[in-house]
């Protein structure tokens, strides 16, 4: 004997979500696939919009190859652990 596994199909969709218009001015994407706009006068907060992640990643990787990131890593280490990064940290090949 087979069990009945049918179910009723909904005749109406749920009401749409209520949304509030955004007060953020979204960066223009006319000439680029990624752009940003600062949201605060002190430039501590920004809105980053990425339409083409491939181009953004390629730019990030090419920029990263041309700079020494050990100072940035040491700053993160110091911020998290509240102490200076050990000196062998800088002498090791990271990649």
Q: pLDDT, tens digit, for every residue of 67-85?
A: 777 777 788 888 888 888 8
CB atoms under 10 Å from CB of 45, counted, come to 9
Q: Residue 41 domain-assigned?
A: yes
Q: pLDDT, tens digit, for every residue of 11-52?
A: 777 777 877 777 777 878 788 777 888 888 898 888 888 776
Where in the sequence is the domain holding 44, given as residue range(s)?
A: 34-91
Query: Two tokens at 32?
Result: 């680029």
Q: Residue 3 domain-assigned?
A: no
Q: Residue 82 domain-assigned?
A: yes
Judge contact between 59 and 32, C-beta under 8 A.
no
> What's the burial of 35, exposed, middle or buried (CB within 10 Å: 0-12/13-18/19+)?
middle
Q: Residue 29 domain-assigned?
A: no
């Amino acid at each position: 004997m087979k069990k009945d596994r049918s179910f009723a199909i909904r005749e109406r969709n749920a009401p749409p979500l209520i949304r509030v218009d955004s007060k953020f001015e979204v960066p223009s994407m006319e000439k680029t696939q990624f752009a940003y706009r600062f949201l605060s006068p002190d430039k501590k907060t920004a809105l980053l919009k990425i339409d083409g992640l491939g181009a953004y990643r390629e730019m990030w990787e090419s920029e990263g190859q041309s700079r020494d990131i050990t100072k940035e890593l040491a700053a993160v280490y110091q911020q998290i652990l509240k102490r200076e990064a050990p000196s062998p940290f800088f002498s090791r090949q990271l990649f």
